[in-house]
Structure 1
Amino acid sequence: MKVLVTGYSGQLGFDVVKEGNYRGLQMYGTGSRDIDITDKDCVSKYVTELNPAVIIHCAAYTAVDKAEDDKEKCYDVNVNGTRYLAEAAKEIGAKFVYISTDYVLDGQGDKPFKETDSPNPIGYYGFTKFEGEKIIQSLLENYFIVRISWVFGTNGNNFIKTMLKLSESRDVLNVVGDQFGSPTYTYDLSRLLLDMIQTDRYGIYHASNEGFCSWAEFAQVIFKITNKNVKVNSINTEEYPTRAVRPKNSRLSKQKLTENGFVALPNWKDALTRYIEKLNQEVN
């Protein structure tokens, strides 16, 4: 099976290609240097010539705060880029996996969001990702829309690496404690995505590691596992203002995964432990 993966230079795309190679699939990981997804002709030519059976679209403009001011570029990448790839997929009859986000939801309440809940993005980044979802649904039939949250992987920057870096110079940190969600380990997620493309159980899915936590609790567990003597003060969102509004409730229900025969991702604490072991192996 020939699989095209966009966003290969990012955390998820990197692990998807690595896992696919391990499984013996023909993986083609691309970055912005290989293909400009905002150029319709470029996308059409590349995809038509490669003729993959599956396109896994991980590439995105993900600078949430910057997106509020850099709207044109964010829209170009997340909306136009997605449209051009979807049109190319339709032309060759390829399956399509669109990586979406908890930011398409409004973050209200405290119950886990289901796939059937109506999206209502509260920031520009989330708006563009939801526009991408609508494009996929309008153009394609053989698609998976997979919403994820709080991503971490070995290839690139993330919350865990930031916390560990800060722990080198500080023994007290203030971390937001009233935003809740599920961390998502790209290694675990990549295995699920490659299981998905072997099936025709299409639709919208939520996929993150099991269990929920706040950012503050996430930080506390990071320091506990790594034996860092850092005190974490839990603060309110209002005490840490950002350019873009963050959803306070990013809890995602993953019930549809198991209902459709897919294996749920392991608990986030288990994923975090394995991830830190992997980081330590790379250092040593």
Structure 2
Amino acid sequence: MRLAVTGRDGQVVRSLLEAGPAAGVEVIAIGRPVLDLERPETIAPALAAARPDVVVNAAAYTAVDQAEAEPDRAHLINATAAGAVAAAARALGCPVIQISTDYVFDGTKAAPYGEDDPVGPAGVYGASKLAGERAVAAASPDHAILRTAWVFAPFGKNFVRTMLHLGETRDEVRVVADQQGCPTYAPDIAAAIIAVARNLKARPDDAALRGVFHMTGSGETTWAGFAEAIFAGAAALGRRPVRVVPIPAREYPTPARRPANSRLDCGRLARVHGVRLPAWPDALQRCLARLCAPV
């Protein structure tokens, strides 16, 4: 199976490139300037040249706060271009997998969100990603939209690497404690994408495999709880101890409002695709083993 993936440097793309050989999957990462989501006219020719079996749209505008100042750019990349990727995949006779986000919800629900819960983005980033979901669905019926959250990896910009960097020079770190979510390891996302892609390719007429699915690490925590687990795991691997000071979100204001509840119910993905991501504490240990390995 050959996967054509938009982007080159993102956490999910890099994880797919790592996972591909062992899974017997050829992963072709296509980024700028050959495929530029800000130039939608580049999308179809770039994907056609890759001759994929399945297309994965993993590239996106993910600067949540900056999106508040750049709504047109966010929508161009996350919505218009996402629709163009799906249209190109349909023209090639390929399923398309679109990576989306918990930010399509407003975060006010008391329980984990299901796929059929009402959407209501609280900011530009979430609105642009929701518009992207709708553009993909309109452009191709042969799609799987995978919403994920709190992504981390041994590479790229993410919460785990930020905490470890802060811990190099600080004895304590203040972290928001009233936002809940499900940390999700990018290599686990890559394995899930490959499994979903195989299902879509093997059963082209199975409508149940298409649509929206939630895909996060198993279990839940707060940002402060996540930070405590990071520092405890790092200390066990020889890093200096760091204390976490829990704070309310109001003490860490940001241009874009974060959902208080980012938890996603991933039962549909398990029932339909047979995919369940590992528990986030186990995934964190695998990540820390790479980040904190002796030089």
Shorter-chain TM-score above 0.5: yes
**SS at 1:147 equivalent:** strand
**How many angstroms apart in 2 are the aligned matches of 1:230 and 1:279?**
16
Of 244, 250, 269, the residue aligned with 2:281 is 269
2:222 match: 214
Instruction: For 2:178, give the aligned amino acid.
Output: D
Instruction: For 1:16, give the aligned amino acid.
Output: L
1:37-66 CA distances to partner (integer Å, 9 max, x unpaired)? Answer: 232321121222323111111000000000
After the TM superposition, which residues 132-281 of structure 1 pair with which residues of structure 2 at under 5 Å, given as runs? 132-200=132-200, 201-227=209-235, 228-281=240-293
**Where does the alignment leave 5 or more consecutive residues of structure 1 unmatched?**
none
**How many angstroms apart in 1 are the aligned matches of 2:169 and 2:111?**
37
Instruction: For 1:217, give the aligned amino acid.
Output: G
**How many angstroms apart in 2 are the aligned matches of 1:81 and 1:71?**
14
**How many angstroms apart in 1 are the aligned matches of 2:273 and 2:85?**
28
- Number of equivalent positions: 283
Shift of 1:180: 0.2
TM-score where L is the length of structure 2 = 0.93
Q: Give the % identical residues.
A: 36
**How many angstroms apart in 1 are the aligned matches of 2:172 and 2:145?**
39
**SS at 1:79 equivalent:** helix
TM-score where L is the length of structure 1 = 0.96
After the TM superposition, which residues 48-59 of structure 1 pair with which residues of structure 2 at under 5 Å, given as runs? 48-59=48-59
**SS at 1:138 equivalent:** helix
**SS at 1:121 equivalent:** coil
1:118-144 CA distances to partner (integer Å, 9 max, x unpaired)? Answer: 211001000000000001111211111
**How many angstroms apart in 1 are the aligned matches of 2:27 and 2:168?**
38
**Where does the alignment leave 5 or more consecutive residues of structure 2 unmatched?**
201-208
Shift of 1:261: 4.2
**How many angstroms apart in 2 are the aligned matches of 1:44 and 1:265?**
32
1:207-228 CA distances to partner (integer Å, 9 max, x unpaired)? Answer: 1110000000000111111114
**How many angstroms apart in 1 are the aligned matches of 2:37 and 2:228?**
39
Q: CA RMSD in A?
A: 1.3
Instruction: For 1:204, give the aligned amino acid.
Output: V
2:62 match: 62
Determine if contact 2:68/2:125 at 8 Å carries over to the other structure. Answer: yes
Asked whether 1:76 is paired with 2:89, we answer no
After the TM superposition, which residues 50-129 of structure 1 pair with which residues of structure 2 at under 5 Å, given as runs? 50-129=50-129
